[in-house]
Structure 1
Amino acid sequence: MKKGFKKVLGAALAAVAIFIGGTQSAQAATTLTVGASSSPHAKILEHVKPELKKQGINLKIKVFSDYILPNKALANKEIDANYFQHEPFLKNWNEKNNGTLINAGAIHLEPIGVYSKKYKSLKSLPKNATVYVSSNTADYGRVLQIFKDAGLITLKKGTDLTNATFDDIKTNKKNITFKHTFEAKLMPKLYEANEADAVVINANYAVQAGINPTKTAIALEKKTSAYANIIAIRKDEKNNKAIKALVKVLRSKSTQKWIEKEFDGAVIPVASTK
């Protein structure tokens, strides 16, 4: 009878130990929700999921189809971080929305490019050409830099490209009209419609539309651009260990090599921009 009681007690204690151990493991796992554009951001995040899981981090990805909602969701604590924007865009958003979101680390560059079905280079654009640009003001400096590098425009003295507008153009050699009233996600469709002489498209939207920037663009942003895409977070999360682990994995050599191979130069890891 005594022996039987010891066996029952032992089995009960073992069950309790298993239950407690399971509970502790569940508590040890951290869930990190990151908002991202579908491509390449969400795709890159999917790639690092297994590595983060090894570190006890359950990465959840919430895909956004625009540039407006991800920062709102982050500020409202609906997500823990987002991955879709460069720092000038974040700075602009903070200024307009009295925000305090910060940069937790640069990951990759998506070279913005100029596309045309009518002309093979910027220099071959005709006089009075029309170029469609998105309404995303944070990208205007990038666009101006491309046309400046091609020798088609000059800028007013002291122009800061991080907040420049088309009003900062000093000379416009071909009298190009930059029409900038379109949503960024619509640019690939406008390119296919072939209405303008050229269209400026962000690389993520080009990739989503099946357009390879390095093979199709008639002009592409230089690899040394300061507009690398970042992981953005709330200021109070700057010491979050899971977010630090995410940035570290995204910037690891193995992830960088995968990005280079997967996107064939359309997406450039930060290490390649230095």
Structure 2
Amino acid sequence: MKAFLGMGLLGSNFVRAMLHQGETIQVWNRTSSKAKALEPYGAKAFDNVAEAVHGADIIHITLKDDATVDEVLEKASAGLQAGATIIDHTTTSAKGAIQRTAYWKSKGFIYLHAPVFMGPQNALESTGFMLVSGDQSVIGKLEPELSKMTGKLINFGPEEGKAAGIKLIGNSFLISLTAGLADALSLAKAHHIEPQELLTLFNSWNPGAMVPGRLKRITDARYNEPSWELNMARKDAGLMMSAAKEADADLTVIPAVASLMDKWITQGHGTDDWTIIAKDSL
């Protein structure tokens, strides 16, 4: 029998998928109505978190942050059965994941941090990506359980906390991507271009496909083989900022990147590939 703590959009759909697979699930949420909403699907909801984990050999959690995870697990501890396994899908700090792994091990329990790149629909459909790292014998035993929940389980090796760090890195890229789209929409507005026309562009031209190659160029430091010279990229950034200023449109990302470009141009790298702006990040 399993327990699941945290019935947000992700957690509730994980539970629905588990129930569809014939699992017996006890659920808890701070707002009890969200847990009780899973009862028509076959879950058993509890108001008390210690009662929710009672009798469960595996406890999944999807909560807000490190502090919430620590608080909820401490309250649940009175109901944990000996040797129970805690699988935490919360996006947390790497430091927190490392500390919790050691702490719960000292108490006689298994704690594994397994963050995900999955939306609610992915959780319901058991698609998407789940990340793990740490004790490989633990991961090996839990792999069948975890693989049922996601399209792909990615194991980053024995280092505790690495999965947490990689999840944050991935989220940083998603945040940057959305900020870049905000700039693109502002620039489109400045040029009287409708958002639908941007969709037409990106439905045909997928810049995301360039990410692996772009990252390899940066990590290989192939800046002297330009596909787009820094001087030319900076010229285009200038055109973007001028158009936005004339239309009284806001740009967030481009001005900051332009300043970074200026730094490298001043250092004599104007004819290098523009990806040199990432050199100091290595």
Same fold per TM (> 0.5)? no
Structure number with higher relative contact order (C-alpha < 8 Å, ≥ 6 residues apart): 1
Name the one with the larger helix percent: 2
| Structure whose residues are more often strand by fraction | 1
Q: TM-score range by the shorter chain?
A: under 0.3
| Length-normalised TM-score, structure 1 | 0.26
